[in-house]
Chain A
Amino acid sequence: MTVSALIIAAVFVVVFALFAFYDVVTSRRRKVKYRIWTAMTAYLMLLPAIVLAFLFVLLPILYSLGYAFTDYYLLKPNNISYIGFENFKQVFQEIAGRGTLYHALINTTEFVVGVVPLQIGLALALALFVNKTYKSAKVFKVCFFAPVVISLSVTSFLWLQILSPSEKGLLNSLLGVLGVKPRDWLRDPATAMPCIIVLSAWQGCGYQMLIVLSGLSNIQQNLYEAASLDGAGAWHKFTAVTWPGLRSTFVYIIITVFIGACRILTQPMLMTGYQDHTVTLSYYMYQQGYTYRWVGYSSAVALLMTIVIGTITLIQRRVFREKD
């Protein structure tokens, strides 16, 4: 491991120096002639941030990239071999054979498709609700934001009580008043993922509500006044002023909520355990990498997942940019 770290550190220094050298050499072409020491000073000032980013962002990604092409088994860290694309082949075989990875892919898609519009819709509704000047608005803001600061483990445990299959479970006892029979919400494949979607949207929407609120504050009031003078009602004001004014805010929210949703892990892990009807891609990776100890294979899944999420995110950005 020490030798490995030294090699990577040496490569890092070389790459860093190459970047600096390239910058200086090409500076003349860009009509901003640098002196070598000026460039070095600038790069040295950047160094602390770059080192931290390298150590905690780039290096783990690169390690993961490297492991994806090996047979790394967690209990045999001293016996790693390069196996080419074997892990990737296995990933596609697992999907084709409708194994657990196939279920993880379907469940994650279901979660993303469910939670992104729900969470953003809730955030917008809550933001519009509290974007008023009445006294209790601040209280509502705090209440709506509170779930965000509670850890996901705690909220998952809280919802476990709400969704308890027992007749005494909160939801079952409420529905019991209406004559509905108790259900095992989290064990039933038809209801488990919708429940996780609802709790996740509830937990996360407070944060997006704040972002929408800041977006709302950037919309000039005179636009609303002009719309009023033109005889626009509340709905027309929303569609003609508020919605276009929040476009850039929504681009940011959609992308971040989408990426966060793709990485869902805690809720299914704590609420249902490793079950085909709720397993997600991140949970699958965790199970393969830590519980089953196949770090190489797990890294291959992670790499493919990163490529897919990255591609979709780029498409999203391109689509929204074109519309702007």
Chain B
Amino acid sequence: MKKLVNFLLVLTLACVTTLSVVACGGSATDGESGEVDPATGNTIVKILFHVDEKSTEGQAYKKRIEAFNAAYKDKNIKASATYKARSAGAAGYETELLNNQVSGTLADIITFDAPNTASYANSELLYDITSLVPKDVQDDFFSLNTYGGKLYGLPIQESSAGFYYNKKIFREHGIDVSSYTVENPWTFAQFKDVCKQLKDSGVTAVDMRIDATKDETATYLLYPFIYAAGGEFTSADGYTATGYFNSSKTADGFNFIKSLIEEGYTSYAIGATDFFDGSVGMYLSSGWTIPDLDHKYKAVFASRDDWGLLPYPKSEVAASATGSWSFGITNNHHTDKTAAKELLLWLASTESSEAITTATGMIPARKSVNTDYEQGSPEYTLLKQLETSGRERPVTVAYPTFSTCFNQVVSALGSGDVTSLLNTQANTLQNEMNRLK
């Protein structure tokens, strides 16, 4: 009898919890205006950054926030920033963001990684800012975070990647790559030929970062190879993977990477610092490697005469990596977005773009920022590549699954059959897209 009573009580509690979970699903407060500090009368605009406050990038944001608060003191708008560094583990930025969303404490403005645009917009986490951002400002960006024809974010800075190469090794073995410029990119065949020359000279040819499949690194660096081969990942609306992710052209792109492994030009076993130690000829990475080569590895790379940057090779077309973090206004319960708009436009202004990219060494997101890069320099190569062949990762609400599927293919390339791998992952991705429809 007592067991039955206990069981019934626990069951009652469980049922009430279920009902309360469902019933209270729509309990967010609506119709509230922006948060106002009663002591000062200032409208507070909260912003969440994805970097550590003490980092170089964090310091640059901090200075721009301080400048905003000084400039908008008379207009009674005050920005309040929170910094939460992104990390691979459960305590990372994304978790903080999602927890804030669940608890209804989402900041007015957030920073977000460009591939999340579709899922955040589709879930109405992001606010449609199409009408808030003047057309001339929109036109001044290299890329915008759009979904369904609407604008949801403004990039903080741009990124592109390429092949860093050790000039000393190339000179020593008589390998000439001077004709492969961003205006005249090399082909897949020419790329492989250089790899062969390096291998024949006893040097590990290239670190393609195929081991970096635990996070977004491999996806970000390798997806342009598939586009260059004429492949695609999803349909234009982002809801179909079958026939795209496992198309023959997509397989061509992956097969090219696989051939580099099989012919011994690259491998999963290349150490993270092997290129910087001078034992690898080329290294695929983003613009963030430039400051490292300029300052950290002086023993091997004493000056820019010792290293250079080559663009992505092309096949059917030229394609290169793009996409970085962006600012977006959230769809939180503050319905008055006027103050948030002011801060967004301030942070995305030419001045902010210049200040932030000066600190980070990345490419400014706005075209009007005076970059003045020397022709042929690594920065020039990245900027021109962005303008001429930059192509964003697939815009799909199922992006996290896409990234996992891509990583699984790359991780198994060394031993698996590409067509079979792509069919399996296309099926997984399609199932996820169907769930999200």
Q: A15-B9, A26-B2, A66-B18 are in contact. Are A79 and B25 (CB under 8 A)?
A: yes
| B171-205 at interface with A (beta carbon < 8 Å) | none
Within 8 A of B (CB), among A56-94: 58-59, 62-63, 65-67, 69-70, 72-82
Cα separation A75 to B99 with both chains bound (whole Å): 10
Are B21 and A78 in contact, CB atoms less than 8 angstroms apart?
Answer: no
Q: Once the chains bind, are A66 and B17 in contact (CB under 8 Å)?
A: yes
Chain A 27-77 residues near chain B, CB threshold 8 A: 58-59, 62-63, 65-67, 69-70, 72-77
* From A74, A272, A286, residue with most partner B Cβ within 10 Å: A74
B98 with A15: CB separation less than 8 A: no
Any B CB within 8 A of the CB of A184: yes
Chain A residues within an 8 Å CB radius of B412: 275
| B16 partner, pick from A11, A18, A270, beta carbons under 8 A | A11
B404 to A67, Cβ gap below 8 A?
A: no
Binds B, one of A1-9, A104-112, A142-150, A308-316: A1-9
Contact A8 B16 (CB under 8 A): yes
Q: How far is the CA of A182 from the CA of B268 in the complex (A)?
A: 12
CB nearest to B18 among chain A residues: A66
Judging by beta carbons under 8 Å apart, are A67 and B21 in contact?
A: yes
Q: A159 on the interface (CB 8 Å rule)?
A: no
Name the residue on B nearest A23 (C-beta): B2
Q: When the two chains form their complex, are residues A8 and B20 in contact, meaning their CB atoms are under 8 A apart?
A: yes
Q: In the complex, A73 Cα to B398 Cα: how many Å?
A: 13
Residues of B within 8 A of A274 (CB): 404, 407-408
Contact A168 B271, CB 8 Å, known A4-B27, A292-B401: yes
Note all chain B residues with C-beta closer than 8 A to A79. 25-26
Cα distance A4–B24 in the bound complex, in angstroms = 6
B14→A65 contact, CB < 8 A: yes
* Residues of A within 8 A of B (CB-CB), count: 59
Min distance, Cβ B118 to any Cβ of chain A, angstroms: 11
Among B14, B16, B98, residue most surrounded by chain A Cβ atoms (within 10 Å):
B16
Q: Which A residues touch B414, using CB under 8 A? A: 184, 187
* Interface 9-residue window, one of B34-42, B72-80, B100-108, B243-251: B100-108
B325: shortest Cβ distance to chain A, in Å? Answer: 18
Q: Which of B55-63, B119-127, B132-140 contacts A (4 or more CB under 8 A)?
A: B119-127
Among candidates A82, A184, A291, residue contacting B400 with C-beta atoms closer than 8 Å: A291
In the bound assembly, the distance between CA atoms of A63 and B269 in angstroms comes to: 44
Cβ contacts B1-23/A at 8 Å (1 or 0 each): 01001000100111011111111
Is A293 among interface residues, defined by CB-CB distance under 8 A? yes
Q: Are A7 and B213 in contact (CB under 8 A)?
A: no
Q: With a CB–CB cut-off of 8 A, which chain B residues contact A76?
A: 123-124
CB distance from B358 to the nearest CB of A (A): 34
Would you call A70 and B21 a contact (CB within 8 A)?
Answer: yes
Complex interface bits, B394-437 against A, C-beta within 8 A gives 1, otherwise 0:
00000011001001100110110000000000001001100100
| Cα distance A169–B24 in the bound complex, in angstroms | 54
Contact (Cβ within 8 A) B9 A165: no
Return chain A residues, CB-CB under 8 Å to B432: 292
Verify A81–B214 contact, CB threshold 8 A. no
Interface size on B, residues (CB 8 A): 55
B258-271 CB mask vs A (1 if < 8 Å, else 0) is 00000000011111
Q: How far is the CB of A201 from chain B (nearest CB, A)?
A: 23
Bound Cα distance from A182 to B21, whole angstroms? 53
- A117 interface hit (Cβ, 8 Å): no
The docked-state distance in angstroms from the alpha carbon of A76 to that of B28 is: 11
Partner of A69, one of B18, B90, B125: B18
Complex Cα spacing A145 to B223, Å = 45
Grouping DSSP codes into helix (H, G, I), strand (E, B) and loop, the B interface class, with mixed when no group exceeds half, is helix
In the complex, the chain B residue whose C-beta lies closest to that of A188 is B415
User: Does B95 lie at the interface of the complex (its beta carbon under 8 Å from any beta carbon of A)?
Assistant: yes
Contacts of A15 in B (CB 8 A): 9, 12-13
Task: Name the contact of A166 in the complex, choosing from B124, B270, B415 (C-beta under 8 A).
Answer: B270
Q: Which of B25, B98, B103, B407 contacts A80 (CB 8 A)?
A: B25
B98 pairs with A293, CB closer than 8 A: yes
> Would you call A1 and B18 a contact (CB within 8 A)?
no
Instruction: Report the separation of the CA atoms of residues A67 and B102 in the bound assembly, to the nearest whole angstrom.
Output: 14
**Which residues of B lie under 8 Å from residue A293 when comparing CB positions?**
98, 119, 400
User: Given contacts A19-B9, A26-B2, A184-B414, are A291 and B404 in contact (CB under 8 A)?
Assistant: yes
Per the bound structure, the CA–CA distance linking A63 and B13 in Å amounts to 10
Query: Hey, which chain B residues are within 8 Å of A168, CB to CB?
Result: 271
Binary contact readout B85-105 vs A (1 if CB under 8 angstroms, 0 otherwise):
000011000110010011110
- Bound-state Cα–Cα, A22 to B2, Å: 9
A155 at interface (Cβ–Cβ under 8 A)?
no
State whether the Cβ of A100 lies closer than 8 Å to any Cβ in chain B.
yes
Task: Given A63-B17, A274-B404, verify A1-B24 contact (CB < 8 Å).
Answer: yes
A293 to B122, CA, bound (A): 13
Given contacts A76-B124, A187-B414, A287-B404, contact A62 B17 (CB under 8 A): yes
A77-B102 contact given A66-B21, A273-B214, A273-B411, CB 8 Å threshold? yes
A11, B268: Cβ atoms closer than 8 Å: no
Q: How far is the CA of A221 from the CA of B111 in the complex (A)?
A: 67
Going nearest first, the 6 A-B pairs with the smallest beta carbon separation are: A75-B123, A273-B214, A66-B18, A80-B25, A4-B24, A165-B269
Beyond the given A3-B23, A8-B20, please list 5 additional residue pairs across the A-B interface where CB-CB is below 8 A.
Answer: A63-B17, A75-B125, A273-B213, A293-B98, A294-B435
Q: A residues engaging B (CB < 8 A)?
A: 1-4, 7-8, 11-12, 15, 18-19, 22, 26, 58-59, 62-63, 65-67, 69-70, 72-82, 99-100, 153, 164-169, 182, 184, 187-188, 270, 272-276, 286-287, 290-294
5 contacts between A and B (CB under 8 A): A11-B12, A67-B21, A80-B25, A166-B271, A273-B214
